[in-house]
Amino acid sequence: MKGYVFDLDGTIYVDEHVIDGVPEAISRLKKRGDKVIFLTNKSISRRSDYVRKLNNLGIQVELEEVINSNYITALYLKSALQPDEKVMCIGEEPLLDELREQGIQLSDQPNDVSYVVLGWDREFTYNKINNAYQAWKNGAKIIATNPDRTCPVQGGEIPDCAAMIGALEAVTGESVFQVTGKPSQLTAQYVLKEVLKMPVDQCFMIGDRLETDIKMGNEAGMSSVLVMTGITTKELLEDSIHKPKHILDSVKYIDQL
């Protein structure tokens, strides 16, 4: 048995379009007894949303097979928070919902929170920057769901959570305290120890992004697999310090490894 960890956007699908041959490839892995999970940094959808989307695209999954950065962030905060400590969240409703599901108390008052969570927020405003900054001035730690600069969409890319991170780092003058999603080893170790539960040398990390998917896989000791269906071009690969152990045109060919 082998373990396969698949990124989603740019790896399994782009927008609402599944990449050719991917459902069949995933099915072949499962039929031969391998363990397959899906891991995304994207914080603007719930895990349950991804389950529905994958099922609609012809890839049958259960909730426990899908992990997103919201879930990892919530688990991190559950272990870090003291009783009655609260969190400010800059992000969209799916992120707030998944934090609440794990019992995280939320507040929008800067003097009432111990942490500020930054997620991808398509309604990011000056007021949100100011609230987060004032919370930081009052001693709150700033964490982020993911460092992705952009998200691949049909016909191009759009800004992702790095835009929120950049705004806060510019005004605080320091890096965020913690990034919880890929390429964090928080995520890698959760996936390996709590989900796959198998030796790392039997596990593959498959994705389209060098600085998250490939970096995390390499640092965790997994076999990293770059697919050329998303963000990364041949030019980016040549210039990057993060080199995959394997390169495939598509997940369609994953069982050739």
| pLDDT band at 155; cut points 50, 70, 90 | confident
User: Which pLDDT value is given to residue 200?
Assistant: 97
User: Which pLDDT value is given to residue 150?
Assistant: 92
User: Which pLDDT value is given to residue 154?
Assistant: 85
Our CA dihedral for 196, 197, 202, 204, rounded to 10 degrees, sits at: 30
User: Which pLDDT value is given to residue 216?
Assistant: 98
User: Which pLDDT value is given to residue 152?
Assistant: 85
pLDDT digits (tens, 9 = 90+) for 26-54: 999 999 999 999 999 999 999 999 999 99
Query: Residue 100's beta-bridge partner residues?
Result: none
**What average pLDDT does this structure show over 78-101?**
97
| pLDDT band at 224; cut points 50, 70, 90 | very high
Q: What is the DSSP annotation of 195-246?
A: II-S-GGGEEEEES-IIIIIHHHHHHT-EEEEETTSS--HHHHHH-S---SE
**What average pLDDT does this structure show over 190-202?**
97
Q: Which residue has the higher pLDDT, 153 or 11?
A: 11
**What average pLDDT does this structure show over 72-92?**
97
CA distances from 244 to 39, 123, 214 (A): 18, 35, 6
CA distances from 70 to 22, 31, 124, 140 (A): 25, 30, 18, 19
**What average pLDDT does this structure show over 187-202?**
97
Mean confidence (pLDDT) of the chain: 97
User: Which pLDDT value is given to residue 183?
Assistant: 98
pTM, entire model: 0.94
**What average pLDDT does this structure show over 191-197?**
97
The rounded distance, in Å, linking the Cα atoms of 218 and 39 is: 16
User: Which pLDDT value is given to residue 60?
Assistant: 96
Q: Apex CA 85: angle with CA 114 and CA 95, to 5°?
A: 75
| pLDDT band at 153; cut points 50, 70, 90 | confident
**What average pLDDT does this structure show over 91-117?**
97
- What is the DSSP secondary structure assignment for residue 151, as one 8-state letter? E
